[in-house]
């Protein structure tokens, strides 16, 4: 996974050494020699990762990290702090400032490259999600909203740990911070628990009894439910080869035993926050996609969806040789409802109309809100006489039972006028089919409303060739 990496260090020799190592692995390198320089390059060049020295004259690394995370332009860039400091309190301070990792010099190359690759991979995935949101021009609103939510609560954690004593201390630390921890003593146990509920984070001991912790991590990554759940791997100081392999397999972070309580909590917090952020970006995107094709008020399909769908239905006549029919209907004098009873009552009526329509059609038909008080029913493989029968049933279902509205509470009499049209010609366009249904609908209106008219087929059609059924 190639990437552009910004190295920030005030010692030129350090920069050159790291630059040479990264370039040999085909990374592209940018450099800055102090905090303000780093902020400028990060904002203008949008690197994929920042390797940030802590001890610099003027603005130190903690402050640089804090500012990078505050600026929406740079807040999504992963930061690895690199330093000679090896005090736990420094590590925690770095993680709390927003760093994704805190590596001590001298750097272990295997761990460094695996870390860089793994963080870059996560960023690319997140960039894809962010780009899709950017398309709506509302990424900024989205990020503001979900960041405040992602920070909010403690999480659900699954701990895979075979040693009772070790498990107990982790459960206590995390529990004291408000997290809810489930423990699994074996991989089998873990899989059983995951089948019941998906946690916000999985913590795995690399050295499980009779089991390879990495194989378990790998398994989690191949399952749909746990593909994106962060994994925190607990290793010993000499497990760097395994760690590198683990990061390649999709482990998201690690802790070296013996670890400090605050470091455990800081890394847990970071992972849970990121998980929630990703999940919400995904959920919002999924919602957008379904919202694009549904009507906000009634929840049924909208005109956009029907346009795509109806074109395809008509084209498929070529293969199936079966007619496609449509019913277009419009509520009679609906304006009066809004004017006399208010828009809220009008909205209630529209929702009820959608419900009655849905319960009066067959499973393979589709009801669409076409415009204000106008609806369309699309009926594949349906001859016009069957469609006219369905339309008549639907018309009667409106007429026979008054509509209840929440505000006011007076039951309202609502009727609809309906036009039915049908085609068995794959060359007829969806537009033309709808226009014929609309003409029939107008004929129904002119004939006194609350009735169904059917359009003649285009071949037979003269100027106003529609015939009334029902009423």
How many angstroms separate the CA atoms of 469 and 345, rounded?
A: 30
Nearer Cβ to its own copies (74/83): 74
Q: How far apart are CA 317 and CA 301, in angstroms?
A: 22
Out of 79, 249, 265, 366, point to the residue binding its own copies (CB under 8 A): 249
Residue 449 is a binding residue for its own copies (CB under 8 A): no
Answer yes or no whether residue 293 interacts with its own copies by CB under 8 A: yes
Minimum CB distance to its own copies, residue 246 (Å): 10
Q: Which is nearer to its own copies, 237 or 296 (CB)?
A: 296
Length of the chain measured in residues: 471
Task: Name the catalytic one among 25, 373, 374, 392.
Answer: 373
Q: Taking the chain, what is the end-to-end CA distance rounded to the nearest angstrom? A: 69
Give the CA count within 13 Å in the CB-facing half-sphere of 85: 20
Interface residue with its own copies among 214, 232, 272, 337 (CB under 8 A) is 214
Determine the interface stretch with its own copies among 32-40, 54-62, 296-304, 396-404 (rule: CB under 8 A). Answer: 296-304
State the DSSP code for 456: P
218 binding its own copies? (CB under 8 A): yes
Nearer to its own copies, 193 or 435 (CB): 435
Q: Which is nearer to its own copies, 97 or 281 (CB)?
A: 281
Report DSSP state, residue 469.
Answer: E
Is 373 catalytic? The answer is: yes
DSSP labels, 385-449: HHHHHHHHHHHHHHHTSPBP-SSS---B---EEEEEEEE--TTS-HHHHHHHHHHHHHHHHHTTS
Minimum distance from CB of 455 to its own copies (Å)? 15
Residue 304 touching its own copies (CB under 8 A): yes
Q: Which is nearer to its own copies, 3 or 181 (CB)?
A: 3
Site string for its own copies, 357-396 (x = CB under 8 A): --------------xxxx----------------------
Backbone angles phi, psi at 319, to 5 degrees: -85, -45
Closest contact distance (angstroms) between CB of 100 and its own copies is: 19
- Residue 391 contacts residue 334 (beta carbons within 8 Å): no
């Amino acid at each position: 996974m190639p990437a552009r990496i910004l190295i920030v260090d005030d010692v030129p020799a350090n920069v050159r050494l790291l630059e040479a190592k990264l370039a040999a692995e085909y990374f592209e390198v940018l450099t800055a020699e102090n905090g303000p320089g780093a902020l400028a390059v990060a904002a203008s060049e949008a690197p994929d990762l920042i390797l940030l020295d802590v001890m610099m004259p003027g603005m130190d690394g903690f402050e640089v990290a804090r500012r990078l995370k505050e600026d929406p332009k740079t807040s999504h860039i992963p930061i690895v702090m690199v330093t000679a400091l090896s005090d736990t309190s420094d590590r925690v301070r770095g993680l709390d400032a927003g760093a994704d990792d805190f590596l001590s010099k001298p750097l272990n190359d295997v761990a460094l490259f695996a870390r860089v690759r793994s963080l870059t991979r996560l960023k690319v995935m997140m960039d894809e999600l962010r780009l899709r949101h950017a398309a709506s021009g509302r990424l900024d609103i989205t990020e503001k909203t979900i960041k405040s939510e992602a920070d909010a609560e403690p999480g659900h954690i699954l701990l895979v740990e075979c040693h009772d004593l070790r498990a107990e201390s982790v459960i206590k630390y995390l529990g004291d911070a408000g997290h809810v921890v489930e423990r699994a003593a074996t991989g089998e146990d873990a899989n059983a628990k995951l089948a019941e509920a998906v946690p916000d984070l999985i913590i795995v001991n690399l050295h499980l009894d009779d089991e390879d912790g990495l194989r378990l991590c790998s398994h989690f990554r191949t399952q749909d439910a746990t593909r994106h759940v962060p994994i925190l791997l607990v290793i010993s100081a000499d497990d760097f080869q395994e760690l590198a392999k683990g990061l390649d397999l999709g482990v998201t972070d690690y802790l070296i035993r013996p670890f400090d309580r605050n470091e455990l909590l800081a890394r847990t917090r970071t992972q849970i926050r990121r998980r929630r952020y990703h999940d919400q970006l995904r959920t919002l995107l999924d919602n957008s996609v379904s919202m694009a094709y549904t009507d906000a008020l009634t929840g049924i399909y909208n005109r956009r969806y029907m346009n795509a769908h109806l074109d395809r239905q008509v084209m498929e006549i070529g293969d199936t040789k079966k007619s496609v029919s449509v019913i277009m209907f419009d509520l009679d004098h609906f304006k009066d409802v809004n004017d006399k009873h208010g828009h809220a009552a009008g909205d209630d009526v529209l929702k009820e109309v959608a419900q009655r329509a849905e319960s009066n059609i067959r499973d393979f038909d589709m009801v669409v809100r076409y415009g204000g008080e106008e609806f369309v029913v699309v009926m594949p493989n349906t001859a016009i006489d069957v469609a006219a029968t369905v339309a008549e049933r639907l018309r009667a279902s409106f007429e026979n039972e008054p509509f209840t509205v929440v505000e006011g509470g007076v039951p309202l009499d609502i009727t609809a006028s309906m036009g039915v049209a049908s085609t068995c010609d794959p060359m007829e366009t969806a537009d033309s089919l709808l226009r014929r249904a609309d003409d029939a609908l107008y004929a129904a209106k002119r004939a006194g409303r609350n009735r169904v008219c059917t359009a003649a087929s285009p071949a037979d059609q003269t100027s106003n060739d529609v015939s009334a059924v029902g009423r």
